[in-house]
Amino acid sequence: MRKVAVIGVGCTSFGEKWETSFRNLFVEAGALALEDAGLSGEQIDEMFVGNMSAGRFVEQEHVGALIADYAGLATNHIPSTRVEAACASGGLAFRQAVTAVASGMADIVVAAGVEKMTDVGTGVSVDALAGAADREWEGFAGATFPGLYAMIATDYMHRYGLTREQLAGVAVKNHRNGAKNPRAQFRSEITVDTVINSSLVADPLRLFDCSPITDGAAAVIVAPLERAREFTDTPIRVLGSGQATDTISLHDRRDICTLDATMVAGERAFHAAGVERTQIDMIEVHDCFTIAELCAIEDLGFCAKGQAGILTEEGVTALDGDLPVNPSGGLKACGHPVGATGIKQIYEIITQLRGEATGRQIDGEIGMTHNVGGTGATVVCHILGV
Ligand code: COA
């Protein structure tokens, strides 16, 4: 297998982007990534596009071909493939691109993610997102994503004594980071009181415990490491990749507070990279709800079960802490255009490792991403290093 590096990145701002179409969101991110790598479209060999539900959100299917066409690549007839694994679609698109380059099947490959969620009302969005869980056993019984994660939060608080304030601390920290990120959907700092007094969504989760509904796109370009310096002075190596699945229904899990797929995907990524947890300088984790960030930190093995709330309270996961988590603002404050989130996580870690994260820069040489589909039925982790 060949070694792989990221040679270019691009990301739109995240938010309610009424002025931009689904296809133009992708074109903007793709053009930024090409410009960053100093490439022209003709040099692209292949493309993987993470997208969860364009059919429900903008009534558009056949996204791989559409994106290739509107990126101006249709006449080159490059392979362009839509990748779908719910909210892990972006991370999985990146893994497909890395695999294509590592195997020698292609040299210059785009991994992108795009979602336009705000053209429909919240009810339609929430229902489309519920398709990432088990429609027959969860969705039809009325379980929404906030509802499913609320069950995790309730069980977790009962078993581990997590306080309402500690849970709110995740959102406070991520809004603080998001306020420093020019691409973030929410750029305002909040307090614990903001979270605790916001409207109840699914007990105990309140509005500020939830990631929002978001439009956005991100793209990264990968190449063989041995060719990377043809395109950039700062190639970032893909050190390890791990993917795992689990039962699609939450009620079939061994333990609803532990995402086994996170444990396995993380372990696979660490093993592939030959890296210890103590070497990780920063992580972007899938904080679709505040409780999800705490579970991720624990299930990736950075602390014992039940301890992540205390770490957050003590500032360990803050930008200036020993283990900064979600420097971008995470899904909570940066926003969560579901198919694009996994690529945005890669974008953030690359930006950090290049030393280009002005205002939220962390010193470090190795970063990690953790992208979840559903309540943990698919998890994709990557480790990246200078
Ligand atoms: N955090 C903070 N503020 C939020 C927010 C969030 N998650 N979502 C919306 N807001 C703000 C809006 O900016 C708006 O503020 P304004 O009145 O000052 O303009 C206000 O709250 C109302 O926004 P609206 O879009 O009407 O919210 P909503 O009630 O329709 O939707 C949720 C709120 C929580 C239901 C929705 O964001 C949601 O479903 N989130 C979860 C998404 C999800 O499940 N993703 C997949 C996870 S795996």
**Tokens encoding 229:** 């310096």
Q: Tell the burial category of 216 from Cβ atoms under 10 Å away from its Cβ (0-12, 13-18, 19+).
A: buried
At 307 the pLDDT is 98
Let me know if residue 206 belongs to a domain: yes
| CB of 347 shorter than 6 A to ligand 1 | no
Give the list of residues 6+ apart from residue 48 with CB closer than 8 angstroms, or none: 80, 81, 83, 93, 94, 96, 97, 100, 109, 110, 111, 112
From 236, 268, 283, the end of a domain falls on 236
Q: Examine the domain organization and report whether 157 and 218 are in the same domain.
A: no
Domain that holds residue 185: 145-212+238-385
Q: What is the mean pLDDT of residues 292-317?
A: 98
Ligand 1 geometric centre to CA of 130 (Å) = 16
At 126 the pLDDT is 96
Q: Whose CA is nearest to atom 26 of ligand 1?
A: 122
Cα dihedral value 260, 332, 166, 278, nearest 10: 50
At 194 the pLDDT is 98
pLDDT over 70 for what percent of the chain?
100
Summarize pLDDT for 207-254 with one digit per residue, the tens: 999 999 999 999 999 999 999 999 999 999 999 999 999 999 999 999
Looking from the CA of residue 286, the nearest atom of ligand 1 is 48
Summarize pLDDT for 95-138 with one digit per residue, the tens: 999 999 999 999 999 999 999 999 999 999 999 999 999 999 99
| CB of 217 shorter than 6 A to ligand 1 | no
Summarize pLDDT for 133-168 with one digit per residue, the tens: 999 999 999 999 999 999 999 999 999 999 999 999
SS3 category, 324 = coil
Q: Examine the domain organization and report whether 114 and 185 are in the same domain.
A: no
At 76 the pLDDT is 92
Summarize pLDDT for 47-69 with one digit per residue, the tens: 999 999 999 999 999 999 999 99
Q: Examine the domain organization and report whether 109 and 152 are in the same domain.
A: no
Ligand 1 geometric centre to CA of 207 (Å) = 6
Widest distance between CA atoms in the chain = 59
Give the list of residues 6+ apart from residue 369 with CB closer than 8 angstroms, or none: 91, 283, 284, 285, 342, 345, 346, 349, 380, 381, 382, 384
Q: Which of 211, 215, 291 to mutate to test the pocket of ligand 1 (most atoms within 8 A of CB)?
A: 211
Let me know if residue 126 belongs to a domain: no
Q: Examine the domain organization and report whether 294 and 155 are in the same domain.
A: yes
Q: Examine the domain organization and report whether 78 and 173 are in the same domain.
A: no
Let me know if residue 136 belongs to a domain: no
At 372 the pLDDT is 98
Half-sphere exposure of residue 192, counting CA atoms within 13 Å on the CB side? Answer: 9
Q: Which of 126, 197, 207, 208 to mutate to test the pocket of ligand 1 (most atoms within 8 A of CB)?
A: 207
| CB of 336 shorter than 6 A to ligand 1 | yes
SS3 category, 80 = strand
Q: Which of 117, 122, 285 to mutate to test the pocket of ligand 1 (most atoms within 8 A of CB)?
A: 122
Cα dihedral value 63, 34, 225, 322, nearest 10: -90
Average pLDDT, the chain: 98
Ligand 1 geometric centre to CA of 332 (Å) = 10
| CB of 289 shorter than 6 A to ligand 1 | no
SS3 category, 289 = strand
161: left (phi over 0), alpha (psi -120 to 50) or beta: left
CATH number of the domain residue 58 falls in: 3.40.47.10
Q: Examine the domain organization and report whether 273 and 152 are in the same domain.
A: yes
Listed in order, strand segments (DSSP E) in the chain are: 4-11, 46-50, 80-83, 109-116, 200-202, 205-206, 215-224, 236-245, 282-284, 366-373, 378-385
- The rounded distance, in Å, linking the Cα atoms of 142 and 267 is 34
Looking from the CA of residue 122, the nearest atom of ligand 1 is 30
Let me know if residue 138 belongs to a domain: no
| CB of 372 shorter than 6 A to ligand 1 | no
Q: Examine the domain organization and report whether 282 and 154 are in the same domain.
A: yes
The catalytic site residues sit at: 87, 336
Let me know if residue 333 belongs to a domain: yes
Q: Examine the domain organization and report whether 232 and 289 are in the same domain.
A: no
Tokens 């791990």 sit at which residue? 242
pLDDT category, 199, cuts 50, 70, 90?
Answer: very high
At 167 the pLDDT is 98
Summarize pLDDT for 253-277 with one digit per residue, the tens: 999 999 999 999 999 999 999 999 9
Q: Examine the domain organization and report whether 262 and 379 are in the same domain.
A: yes
Q: How many domains does the chain have?
A: 2
Please give the model's pTM, rounded to 2 decimal places.
0.98
Residue positions counted in the chain: 386
| CB of 26 shorter than 6 A to ligand 1 | no
Q: Examine the domain organization and report whether 105 and 242 are in the same domain.
A: no
Q: Examine the domain organization and report whether 223 and 278 are in the same domain.
A: no
Q: Please give the distance of CA 241 from its chain centroid, rounded to a whole number.
A: 14
Residue closest to 282 by CA, chosen among 199, 354, 196, 188: 354
**Tokens encoding 95:** 């893994």
Q: Are 381 and 269 in contact (CB under 8 A)?
A: yes
At 42 the pLDDT is 94
Q: Examine the domain organization and report whether 187 and 271 are in the same domain.
A: yes
Q: What is the mean pLDDT of residues 326-341?
A: 98
Looking from the CA of residue 208, the nearest atom of ligand 1 is 1
At 78 the pLDDT is 96
At 222 the pLDDT is 98
Let me know if residue 132 belongs to a domain: no
At 127 the pLDDT is 96
| CB of 302 shorter than 6 A to ligand 1 | no
At 312 the pLDDT is 98
At 220 the pLDDT is 98
